[in-house]
Structure 1
Amino acid sequence: MMYNYYKTHLYNISQHDPIPESYNIDENDIDFFESTSQEPLVLVPDHPLARVVDELKLSALKEFYLEENRSETFPQRNLGVEQRADNSRGSILRDAQFPLKRQFACPFYRWDPIRHMSCFTRLSLRGIADVKRHLWNAHKLPPYCPMCGKTFPTVARCDGHIRRRNCVLRELPTPEGITIQQVQQLVQPTDAGTPEELQWLSIWTIVFPGADLPAVTYPSGVVESTVCQFRDYWAYNGERLVSDFLEAKGLHNYNLQDEDHSFAALCITVLYQATDYLVESLSHETSNESIGEPSRS
């Protein structure tokens, strides 16, 4: 059964301790946890360039697999370290003409990959700092009432709601996320000499105390490795491929109001759709592989 670490955060309605207005962290940590999330640069369905997304996606995947086939052997991704693998799919290219970078998994994705699939398909966590920022931006536990389950934008509003005691008990699942105490643990300095994999495991024990450690801290297996490989390939080649495609189709002169924004949105949209396509298609091809290999305690 899933380790219910959230119970430590439930508000005691009979005895209220002082609760901070928000996630209070040291001034030195503000820059570290400053939100870098922005509105996603994706094309709206009626955008003039939206009609080429499907064709461009397939063209990009074709070029990607052609690049794959040009290599004789395919070492498997392991924390960015190359290792031999028998299966060419889900591996990184030994002779790839683009930089291959290690990537880490979101702990929530590793815990429940189906529920948190977007943490894998929409993000590229290149280091421990990226993992912590992602937890801060996407997985903070919202203040909530343990009686009715209502969530609030601030702890003060939630505390006032609970003190009034005018709601009705409802059987709702506890909201998911990291608590204030866990955030304060995450900002504690780490020994610079500690390997990043151990640092990731330390984050895991903070986010899921008492839960079994996962077998891997990074994307692995056929599906995840291939998606990471495509993401690296797209980071290096995506803009060029999109530009060449538009020029070949005679679509460079759209006279759009915000051409740079539209071009960036097209690149991101193609990346997202190609990633989703890879996950779906490879999951069917490797039906015996459980994507993410979720941990259970």
Structure 2
Amino acid sequence: MDHYYNSHLYDISQLDPVPESYNLDENDVDIFESTVQEPLVLEFDHPLARVVDELKLSALNEFYLEKSRSETFPQRNLGVEQRAGNFQGSILGDAQFPLKRQFACPFYRWDPVKHMSCFTRLSLRGITGVKQHLWNTHRLPPYCPMCGKTFPTVTRCDSHIRHRKCGPRESPTPEGITIQQVQQLVQPTDARNPEELQWLYIWTIVFPGADLPAVTYPSGAIESAVCQFRDYWAYNGEKLVSDFLEAKGFHNYNLQDEDHSFAALYTTVLYQATDYLVESISHKNSNETIGGLSRS
């Protein structure tokens, strides 16, 4: 899973420009509009909530044991906090689970601290996933560039602007992608182009004129650790949760339970373990920058 590459190896001009006359229609919107459901998380008073911390530490312990097989130093007798401190983000050489490439959200790469959840709360596995994320999370509603007021439709926004009755804005321009940028993003790129090049083309649309980032994938000790744990959890999490609940006497919870408590526990542990990794490695490696390499 190679997270690093030289952005200057790719020439963005290789991609055909988007025609200015292009109009967004309903068929194009279908490319972006996929059903987005909020992930299930446990309520604090749910019976399973009391085992979250223990299950989180157990999951991290199993993860570090898996990782220790590729390390040159023994970790099997270390506690979870010590193992987190020793984790330097190296790639698992003999991992018993598949490691998959992940893309960074352009807004996360632009401002990792502000958009941390774009990294810790989802995996972007391909170019389509990146575009869908931008549409679902970072799409701006139509707004007046003068006063900053937002509108439910482009028609109402255009009518407001034509009347020119508003005053200058007091707040900064809202952050996100405009309908014009969506019109560009909806254009398919040539699948024969490397995915890194396609991602960089998205970057030039979202942040026109900005320098290209050094990496398109999550990178660095923190990001590598989170990506590895996310892949580990996707491959082993269901069994770990099931075995843990069985050992604790919770026999009525599984993937088929009607209130989806199992799925909520699965997601809650994933989120808390991810946050734990970010916090613990950041504390251990004071020089580690959230978001990996800076823009070049």
TM-score, normalised relative to structure 1: 0.81
Amino acid at match of 1:199: Q
Alignment check: 8 A CA contact 1:107 1:204 kept: yes
Residue 95 of structure 1 is matched in structure 2 by 94
Alignment check: 8 A CA contact 1:61 1:274 kept: yes
Residue 222 of structure 1 is matched in structure 2 by 221
Distance 1:105 1:73 in 2: 30
**Structure 1 residue 173, shift from structure 2 partner:** 1.1
Alignment check: 8 A CA contact 2:142 2:179 kept: no
Residue 279 of structure 1 is matched in structure 2 by 278
| Identity between Structure 1 and Structure 2 (%) | 84
Residue 157 of structure 1 is matched in structure 2 by 156
**Structure 1 residue 169, shift from structure 2 partner:** 4.0
Residue 246 of structure 2 is matched in structure 1 by 247
The change in CA–CA distance for 1:129 and 1:250 in structure 2 (over 3 A counts) is same
Residue 172 of structure 1 is matched in structure 2 by 171
**Structure 1 residue ranges without an equivalent (≥5):** 1-23, 75-86
Residue 76 of structure 2 is matched in structure 1 by none
Distance 2:64 2:110 in 1: 30
Q: Which range moves more in the overlay, 269-278 or 64-73? A: 64-73
Q: Which range moves more in the overlay, 213-222 or 155-164? A: 155-164
Distance 2:153 2:43 in 1: 32
Amino acid at match of 2:194: P
Residue 24 of structure 2 is matched in structure 1 by 25
Q: Which range moves more in the overlay, 35-44 or 60-69? A: 35-44
Residue 190 of structure 2 is matched in structure 1 by 191
**Structure 1 residue 189, shift from structure 2 partner:** 2.4
Residue 41 of structure 1 is matched in structure 2 by 40
The change in CA–CA distance for 1:157 and 1:47 in structure 2 (over 3 A counts) is farther
Any idea what the Cα deviations from partners look like across 1:87-123, whole Å, max 9, x if unmatched? Answer: 8531331111111100000000000001100000001
Any idea what the Cα deviations from partners look like across 1:139-186, whole Å, max 9, x if unmatched? Answer: 112222334433232223334444566655441011111111211111
Residue 267 of structure 2 is matched in structure 1 by 268
Residue 124 of structure 1 is matched in structure 2 by 123
TM-score, normalised relative to structure 2: 0.81
Any idea what the Cα deviations from partners look like across 1:259-290, whole Å, max 9, x if unmatched? Answer: 46111111011101111111111111111121
Distance 1:161 1:191 in 2: 38
Amino acid at match of 2:157: C
Alignment check: 8 A CA contact 1:106 1:120 kept: yes
Distance 1:235 1:254 in 2: 19
Q: Which range moves more in the overlay, 29-38 or 233-242? A: 29-38
Distance 2:219 2:147 in 1: 40
**Structure 2 residue ranges without an equivalent (≥5):** 1-22, 74-85
**Structure 1 residue 253, shift from structure 2 partner:** 3.1
The change in CA–CA distance for 1:259 and 1:92 in structure 2 (over 3 A counts) is farther
Alignment check: 8 A CA contact 1:142 1:175 kept: no
Q: Over aligned residues, Cα RMSD in angstroms?
A: 2.6
Any idea what the Cα deviations from partners look like across 1:52-91, whole Å, max 9, x if unmatched? Answer: 11111111111100111022479xxxxxxxxxxxx85313
Alignment check: 8 A CA contact 2:40 2:264 kept: yes
Distance 1:163 1:45 in 2: 50
Amino acid at match of 2:153: T
The change in CA–CA distance for 1:124 and 1:100 in structure 2 (over 3 A counts) is same
How many residue pairs match? The answer is 263
Residue 289 of structure 1 is matched in structure 2 by 288
Residue 204 of structure 2 is matched in structure 1 by 205
Alignment check: 8 A CA contact 1:113 1:294 kept: no
